[in-house]
Amino acid sequence: MRLTITHEQWMKSTHSLIKPRSPSLKRIDQAIAFRDQGEAKRALIAWIDEQNKKRQDWQRSVRNEKGMVKKLYDELGVLGAAPAFQNPAAGVADEAAKAELRREQQIAAAKMFAGKEIKFKDSFWGISRLKCREQTSKIGKARNAAGNVAMTAFGVGSNLGSAAATAGGIASSLRTVIQEIMGELPAATHNEIIEQVFGTTVENFIFEVAPLIGMVSSGAKATMAWVGVARNIHSATQMEARVFDVRAGDASAALQSMIAVIDRQIKKQTADGAIHTTAFAGKVAASAADFGTATTAAIGAVESVANLLNTLVDLVTDAKQMIAGNKLIVEQKLDLDLFNTCPILGCYYIVVQDHSTIMNFDIANMGRDNWQQEAERLKYAIQPVLLKAADLISKSRIGIMGMDQAKGVYQASILQKIELYYKSRQMQASSSIFLDNVKAFIKGNA
């Protein structure tokens, strides 16, 4: 490919206010200025070797912030074309050998995950159960506070026939909301989540809350609006699953897609709850705006229902990913496509393995000019992905049971790191008072 980048474009796009240009970079500058394509290629290869020796991914260099170094890399054909074979049989044999390498790596990965299962973390269940009980407790208190008013839906003197019809409509709307959120889940998972969130059956929950929602003058409209919220969240989740494509091919693109997927999942674990709650709670505000015959207790109950629906959305979203991931483990379909189906499983897949296994998506480059240099770069390019993957594993509500102590998964606490530091220097006795003080401090600030 012909060199089209001008010296002015190169200098402007690779300029840094804080980093002076190294001798190896100046060599590239001069080659481009003289339009010496061969020397520019040799100089760029030397500069990349220098970056690799520093254990740095050159594509993340300040010089490549505008993509100019990568553009030069592609124009100069530093990573050569796929090798051409004069004998067709040799080409077939080469492809077969690469396919065998991929297969062996997949078999090794499958053994690591054999018999494993993704589940909701026990630690999360405990926290979630407490939060849900707080909301159902508020509903119970609201029901007691409303007394006979709640039991008759709208109070003494009201048209009981109309009240029953309205309460029935609210109950029907609530069933629709919950069905929209739950979707098609296996019976066992469905029942586990319902019990976790509501502490009872759907029908019992609806029986408890429908009269209270009915006390809010526009409660029926609010429950109908919640159906729309549930649908929008479900649609957004479905669309998100199709945004990124992580698979064999362009290794750099695959790494960037992995980071994007993990970032999205971390955001979902830490922020979506607030987003969903705002959406559901917005319907609460709308239903309470005119007050009408609503009581404070009833409005509080409606808010609690919104919070429980939000929790339901999050658990169902995780459950669907969990089911998809467990299916892949059973079928032993373990490769980078995991990120498109079950990001948390993809994170476990990359953190517990050696770099060589993770880079199986780069096998196609074998035999090209400078492919080993590119493989070396990928070792350092993978590091940010591994760190983010470990972060998601730590934050996620679901995880693989029995792998909490595995390489890349285990996250030592600050206290454990301090203890390890002192023990490694045989200072246990002299440090016991210090460690006791650290434990007391951590406990007091937990």
* Model pLDDT for residues 283-307, shown as the tens digit of each residue: 555 555 544 455 666 777 777 888 8
- How sure is the predictor about 429, in pLDDT bands with cuts at 50, 70 and 90? very low
Centre a 10 Å sphere on the Cβ of residue 93 and count the other Cβ atoms it contains: 12
- Residue 86 makes CB contacts below 8 A (sequence gap 6+) with none
Mean residue pLDDT across the chain: 77
Residue 207's identity, in one-letter code, is F
Q: Is it the case that residue 445 has pLDDT exceeding 60?
A: no
Helix (H) / strand (E) containing 67: none
Beta carbons of 216 and 287 less than 8 angstroms apart: yes
Sequence spans of domains, the chain: 7-76, 118-244+267-328, 414-444
443/150: higher pLDDT: 443
- Residue 431 makes CB contacts below 8 A (sequence gap 6+) with 422
pLDDT attached to residue 241: 54
Q: Is it the case that residue 70 has pLDDT exceeding 90?
A: yes
Helix (H) / strand (E) containing 398: strand 398-400
Residue written as tokens 């067709």?
A: 88
Q: Which tokens hold the place of 250?
A: 């362009």
- Model-level pTM? 0.71
Average pLDDT estimate for 176-205: 89
Residue 273 burial by CB count (10 A; 0-12/13-18/19+): exposed, middle or buried? middle
